[in-house]
Structure 1
Amino acid sequence: MVESDKLRILVVGAGVAGLAVAIALKKHEGVDVQIYERATQLQEIGASIALGPNGMRTLEKLGVLEALDDEVAFRKSSGYPIIYRHWKTNEVVSVDKHHGEIEYRHRTSRFYRAHLQQALLAHVDTAHIHLGKAFASVCEAMNTDDLTISFDDGSTVSADILLGADGIRSAVRRSFVPHSAPKWTGWGAFRSVFDAKLVEHIDGVLDEACHWWGPDRTFFASRLGKDLFTIVDASWNSEGNLQILKDYYKDWHPAIRQMIDASPYTKLYPNTFASSLDTWIHGNGRVTFAGDAAHAHGGAFAAGGSLALDDAYAFALAITHFCPSGSSKPSKSTITGALRL
């Protein structure tokens, strides 16, 4: 098919959702997906990320099978997604359970975010990823049906569909819904990712994903893939400092204090969320969102990664339904119908 006859989809953001869209549509001969990312390089940043059974199934549908491997994804030995423990006594208070029969490879898994991104990147032609491109604006071109997307460096690109997959601070979302800037929940999360060998002397911590609940703060710890370990400590109005972290948890169970002592560093991330949108369809029916750009829950449900994958896959299914391989480029009204599906 001639390039000019293809449906041009411009994705802002090379995160989980953006990469998944490119993978889901890469075999569609009538679609051209290009990703524009504000970062100048894709590097190992971020902390841990969990995927539930829905996210793991979507990875499998996308063909990203290496992400289902035990080397990359950590699954708990008990099969429970999370075990909840008392902050002082360490006794098990309750457990999360999968609903129904879940195949092993689809069980809730925990990753180092960079490893999941690398697995997705391996399935995307890097020629379709454009770095150092910060979204500035979008408008309808004069005398054509094109969308014109502008970037901070002054460059412009034409497309038929714009998908904002640029996270909780989505510039695409703000351009249509200016009041949708993320809001602070009042909580902060200390996050650390380090070599699991540093905590292997602490009994039982490498076997499960555990969440300790206290009167006004929590503590989460889990192994990740590739022999990494993470601790996530949520406190009200916190500062990112190891000594402060140690002081916050000085009265907690010894296992927790040992994990904090083993951590070589900590970083503070403010816990934010974005209010729900009245609609995900903008730009005269040709602009939409995926992942945290569409629905940022603030990390409360550990569902953001799975939802980003599901959004991407659903978007690809809608495009394929309205624009099957071998068909001509869809009209503006057909595109709107696909995005509303």
Structure 2
Amino acid sequence: MKVIVAGAGLGGLALANGLRGAGIDVAVHERDRSPLVRRQGYRLHLSDVGIDALTSVMAPERRAALLATAHTPAPRFVRFDPTLKELDVLEHDGLHLSVDRQTLRDALLAGVAETIVYGTRLAGFQAAVGHVTARFDDGTTVTGDVLVGADGINSAVRRQYLPHARVVSTGLVQLYGKIPAEPAASMDNVFTAITGPGHRTVGVAYTRDYATCSFGARAEDLPSGLHAMTQDQLRSLVLDMTDGWHPLIRRMIAQWHDVFPLELRTSVPIPPWPTTRVTLLGDAVHAMSPAAGAGANLALRDAAALSAALAHGGPLIPALRSYEQEMIDSGFAAVRVSAANGARFLGQDPLPSG
């Protein structure tokens, strides 16, 4: 069996690790020209779902080395107002870890680096009896038994395969960056949110050597051209928008660095579709707002479940159908939870009904 994977994000890399471990031929095609050309985030939350998935797909020594770099936060979500008065505390069950996203990517890359072809953007595919052929924008083609769209929220696989599947704006924009660990030490939780008037939110997540700090607001309340702003301009903008907030919050923002803006979008759940030799995982099918902290964990879970289904050795289409049934149910359930949390705490637009 040969599996073609479009996309070398966390889900695609985890899938490639699982397939290689099962002795299945895998070719990963990534549109970026290297794994370092885009900023994709910093600290990453791993729940039991993600940790179990990594246990399934990674070599034990690599997984142990990765987890040795992790930080264990208090297992709770805490929300404050701008004076740092506590508003909500939600305790979490299970194990929760904070890891550096690049450290996780590097660990996954180490097992499958030779399977990845960079600078190859999927242009389309053609499914036929017994095989599927992927076509890339450089004119090359690759034929295999299965094509997996692991190519993220702007998935070219989804666009052709499920043209009716929508990705919509949440109405929110987030500025995402890093701060030194020290000012965030008192907020060592799975996630801490400070929510203020006008749906303005500062999010803090502590990890071993630093903390992530984000600022979110309604898109209409932010100026255009955020991507063209300097770091000083972004800091000044958010300091102006958090005028009068607690001095600790202001100190965090003043120490912000490596900040980049991101429009928050979400998929809209759709009914199951007929199973073929083309399938999807992670953000390519069930992208969600970060309000449930579940996106990366579900991508890793999808990868582990799909690699196990393909390694089982039974008929291909029933194996893919079994994977998709669970992926669709749990993935879109998480989309709905994230949307509900985002609407409640962040001012996210309601999820469209269809």
Q: Structure 1 residue 82 and structure 2 residue 77: aligned?
A: yes
1:189 is paired with a residue of what secondary structure? strand
Q: How many pairs does the alignment contain?
A: 303
With over 3 angstroms needed to count, the CA separation of the structure-2 counterparts of 1:203 and 1:28, relative to structure 1, is: closer
Structure 2: any 5+ residue segments left out of the alignment?
227-233, 323-354
With over 3 angstroms needed to count, the CA separation of the structure-2 counterparts of 1:220 and 1:182, relative to structure 1, is: same
Match of residue 89 from structure 2: 95
Q: Structure 1 residue 120 and structure 2 residue 108: aligned?
A: yes
Separation of aligned partners in 2, 1:189 and 1:280: 33
2:217 to 228, 232, 235: 235
The structure 1 segments of at least 4 consecutive aligned residues displaced by more than 4 Å after TM superposition are none
1:273 is paired with a residue of what secondary structure? strand
Mapping of residues 186-205 of structure 1, within 5 Å: 186-196=171-181, 200=182, 202=183, 204-205=185-186
Mapping of residues 164-175 of structure 1, within 5 Å: 164-175=149-160
Separation of aligned partners in 1, 2:17 and 2:273: 22
Separation of aligned partners in 2, 1:24 and 1:138: 24
Separation of aligned partners in 2, 1:232 and 1:146: 44
For the 8 Å contact 2:184–2:206, the answer to whether it is kept is: no
2:75 is paired with a residue of what secondary structure? coil
For the 8 Å contact 2:184–2:211, the answer to whether it is kept is: no
Q: CA deviation at 1:321?
A: 2.2
Match of residue 136 from structure 1: 123
Q: CA deviation at 1:224?
A: 2.6
Structure number with higher helix proportion: 2
Match of residue 220 from structure 1: 203
Separation of aligned partners in 1, 2:131 and 2:194: 52
Q: CA deviation at 1:139?
A: 0.7
Match of residue 319 from structure 2: 338
Q: CA deviation at 1:290?
A: 0.4
Q: What is the TM-score normalised by the length of structure 1?
A: 0.83
The alignment-based identity, stated in percent, is 31
Match of residue 64 from structure 2: 65
Match of residue 286 from structure 1: 277
Separation of aligned partners in 2, 1:203 and 1:140: 51
1:111 to 89, 92, 99: 99
Match of residue 346 from structure 2: none
Separation of aligned partners in 2, 1:10 and 1:281: 20
Match of residue 211 from structure 1: 193
Separation of aligned partners in 2, 1:312 and 1:204: 33
Structure 1: any 5+ residue segments left out of the alignment?
1-6, 324-333
Match of residue 4 from structure 1: none
Match of residue 327 from structure 2: none
For the 8 Å contact 1:220–1:232, the answer to whether it is kept is: yes
With over 3 angstroms needed to count, the CA separation of the structure-2 counterparts of 1:204 and 1:195, relative to structure 1, is: closer
1:159 to 144, 161, 168: 144
Residue identity opposite 1:156 in structure 2: T
